[in-house]
Amino acid sequence: MYDRPEQQHRFNWGLLWIVGLGSLARFWQAGESLWLDELHTSWVVSAGLAEIPARAQIGNQSPLYFFLVRGVVSLLGEHELTIRLPSLAAGIGLNYYSGVVTRRWSGSSAAGWLAAALVAVDHNMIFFSQEARPYALVQLVALWQFAAFWRLQTTPGRTDRLVVSGGWIVMFYLHYTAILLVAGEVIWWAAIQVWQRGRGSYRPSHLLTDLGITAIACGIALPHLAEIAARRSMWEMFVLQKPAWAAWRWFHWNLYVIGTCTVCGGGLLMKRVWRWLHGSPASDPSPPPAGMADAISIAPLLVCWWASPASIAWMLTAGDVARIYFPRYLVGAAVAPMICGGLCLLICRSAPLRGIALTTVLGLAIWSNGLWTQYQRDGRLISDRRQDWRAAVAWLNNHRHDNSPVLVRSGLIEADRLRNEPESALRGYCLLPVTSLYRIVPPENLLPLPTTESGRLSAPVAALVRQQRHAWLVLSARPAAHETIRNNLRDSLPGMQVEMVRDASFGHVAVWQVRLGDDG
């Protein structure tokens, strides 16, 4: 849509500056300690290639992402940055690509810059770019196939069909819940078919073929999905019932879309008042932006792409069928409100007004996401990772000089199965915070604890602690739960006096040393 090469050149330079600042935000805390979910990634990739599928599946994950991380770790070594590198690269790629596609769909440099800038400073986007989990890759693949799906509406092509169906399959095998994104695209396609009376270029036979290929490819995972479904009650511990509109706030539609429309509308109103006060015609003689028609066409698809998965997830959760109404399970389409925000900038017809609106919305986004406030508090941009397993394990290794038992409460939801399934594979999984990147040495006498009622020791564990007369506990738990765990521990050792010798906290990870004596 650009007639002059210098406009393209100017947009590229502006976008590179934005992506550079976004990259700085993403690398700012990339060396922090891994938290629990990331340590699962470390545990999976520390195994041999043949073991990766089984280790991934015990954590309810597909192995695709972990093979990618294993490749990076094999080349560059295993530490926090290399384990997070695929997510960092995907997050930066998403930052760049969101600006490119928004400019392509709108014909406006300012719109592309705003979308990219919102991605660059969004709290969720920064966090998932730094997390050694598949969500940032899901976002990048999702937007890539979404762009191909949009092209198919006007221009038939085998390449785009391969990108769409291939994208659906890759998203699914990166994270199973990402398949919900297909619903938004199919629902919108069906509505357009009715509206256009079947005259669209993406024919029903083509869509059915692509959906069939996707279903066959994804059907391979049905046995694992059945296992996950059989344990769906475990999610009740952390996926709580939320109102249907909660996702609206999770992904900042109110700020990025309504906020941009409000700022642009306010600017237009002030301009009209100014023209009226100075005797000029109230209407703006500037023509509508060249990309306005395309923006109006694609905005409903973006909304449907995001809203349909969120609605399905809410209904499944509200009906207790599957508790998946949770931010990270819907993050694949999280870029939609940012792109919509960029498209809304077209309300402003003049370049100066767009510049003012862009700056205002970006300033509001930085303030609303808490980046500046958090930076002033402790030099970080986000504070989501509150588990310093690296420091906790190092402190324990520095103070433990024998083979005394170490009881580990990982906080993994699967850990409660230990009561009924004490098999070695599950035990190894529940010890992953202290046996993967951060390792307790010597590794003997490491005993996993269930997540609920962790202080109530099983008979074999209580017998070992009685025999040794002292033990260490490594607990992933909020400070408010510590007293309950202590009381349960005392109840598990009747007739013994439980003395707290050492107590150190590392965020939401605590390390205790306890000694037993005869009571009374």
- Say whether both 317 and 437 belong to one domain: no
- Which has more confidence, 352 or 312? 312
Q: State pLDDT tens for residues 218-268.
A: 999 999 999 888 887 777 777 788 898 898 989 999 899 998 888 888 877
Pull the structure tokens for residue 344.
Answer: 């809304």
Tell me if 240 is assigned to some domain. Answer: yes
Give the end of a domain, one of 318, 345, 378. Answer: 378
Is the residue at 383 inside a domain?
Answer: no
Residue 125's pLDDT is what?
A: 96
Q: Do residues 187 and 308 touch, judged by C-beta distance below 8 A?
A: yes
Is a pLDDT exceeding 70 seen at residue 272? Answer: no
3-state secondary structure at position 474: strand
C-alpha span between 25 and 20 (Å, rounded): 9
One-letter amino acid of 460: P
> Before 442, cis peptide (omega within 30)?
yes
Worst-scoring range by mean pLDDT, 87-91, 172-176, 182-186, 411-415?
411-415
- Is residue 59 a part of any domain in this protein? yes
Average pLDDT of the segment spanning 58-79: 94
pLDDT of 283: 56
- Expressed in percent and rounded to 5, the helix, strand and coil fractions of the chain are 65, 10, 25
Residue 1 within any structural domain of the chain:
no
Q: Are residues 414 and 493 in the same domain?
A: yes
Same domain, residue pair 370 and 419: no
Q: What pLDDT digit, counting tens, does each position of 3-30 carry?
A: 567 778 889 999 999 999 999 999 999 9
Residue 4: inside a domain: no
Q: Does residue 288 register a pLDDT over 80?
A: no
Q: How confident is the model at residue 387 (pLDDT cuts 50, 70, 90)?
A: very high
Dist CA 109 CA 259 (whole Å): 19
Which of 83-97, 411-425, 438-452 is least confident?
411-425
Q: Beta 509-518 vs 446-448: how paired, if at all?
A: unpaired
Same domain? For 120 and 264 the reply is yes
What secondary structure letter does DSSP report for 33?
Answer: P
| Residues whose CB is less than 8 angstroms from the CB of residue 137 and which lie 6 or more positions away in sequence, other chains included | 65, 68, 86, 87, 90, 174
Cβ-Cβ contacts under 8 Å for 61 (sequence gap 6 or more): 40, 44, 134, 175
Average pLDDT over residues 178-195: 91
Residues 221 and 264 in one domain: yes
* Residues facing 407 on adjacent strands: 447, 473
Tokens (6 digits) for 26: 């993403």
**Torsion angles phi and psi, residue 511, rounded to 5:** -125, 125
Choosing from 378, 407, 425, the residue where a domain stops is: 378
Confirm whether 75 is domain-assigned: yes
pLDDT of residue 494: 85
Cβ distance 201 to 153 under 8 Å? yes
- What is the per-residue pLDDT for 304? 93
Percentage of the chain lying above the pLDDT 90 cut: 55
> Within 10 Å of residue 120's Cβ, how many Cβ atoms?
31
* Same structural domain, 85 and 133: yes
Look at residue 1 and tell me whether its pLDDT is greater than 50: no
CB atoms < 10 A from the CB of 17, how many? 14
Rg (CA), the chain: 26
More confident residue, 519 or 96: 96
507-518 pLDDT, tens digit per residue, is 999 999 998 887
Sign of CA dihedral 414, 418, 420, 426: positive
State how far the alpha carbon of 422 is from the alpha carbons of 55, 358, 417, 483, in Å: 16, 57, 8, 27
From the CB of residue 143, how many other CB atoms can be counted at a distance below 10 Å?
A: 25
Q: Is the pLDDT of residue 291 over 70?
A: no
pLDDT tier for residue 199 given thresholds of 50, 70 and 90: low
Instruction: Count other C-beta atoms under 10 Å from residue 455's C-beta.
Output: 25
Find the mean pLDDT for residues 93-110: 94
Give 452's pLDDT tier (boundaries 50, 70, 90).
confident
Q: Is residue 5 assigned to a domain?
A: no
Say how many domains are in the chain: 2
Amino acid at site 492: S
Q: Give Cα 29 distance to the centre of its chain.
A: 16
- pTM, full prediction: 0.92
* Straight-line distance from the first to the last Cα atom of the chain, in angstroms, rounded to the nearest whole number: 85
CA atoms within 13 A of residue 99's CA, in its CB half-sphere: 26
Residue 37 has pLDDT above 70, yes or no: yes
Give mean pLDDT, residues 341-349: 88
User: Is the pLDDT confidence value at 285 over 90?
Assistant: no
Query: Does one domain contain both 173 and 317?
Result: yes
195, 199, 202, 205: CA torsion to nearest 10:
100
Same domain, 361 and 293: yes
Q: For residues 441 and 338, state if they share a domain.
A: no
Q: Tell me whether residue 2 is in a domain.
A: no
Domain end residue (candidates: 346, 378, 410) = 378
pLDDT at res. 198: 62
The total of other beta-carbon atoms located within 10 Å of residue 237's CB is 13
Higher pLDDT, 435 or 321: 435
C-alpha–C-alpha distance, residues 331 and 446, integer Å: 36
Q: pLDDT per residue over 476-489, tens digit each?
A: 988 888 999 988 88
* Average of per-residue pLDDT across 309-327: 90
**What is the maximal distance between C-alpha atoms in the chain?**
94
Q: Which DSSP letter does residue 29 get? A: T
CA distances from 418 to 268, 426, 434 (A): 63, 7, 17
Residues 330 and 453 reside in one and the same domain: no
CB distance 451 to 412 below 8 Å: yes
Cβ atoms 416, 450 nearer than 8 A:
yes
Looking at the DSSP bridge assignments, the partners of residue 517 are 497
Clarify whether residues 170 and 64 are in a common domain: yes
CB 512 within 8 A of CB 490: no
Instruction: Give the range of the structural domain holding residue 338, as residue numbers without chain letter.
Output: 11-378
Average pLDDT score, the chain: 89
Is 210 in the same domain as 122? yes
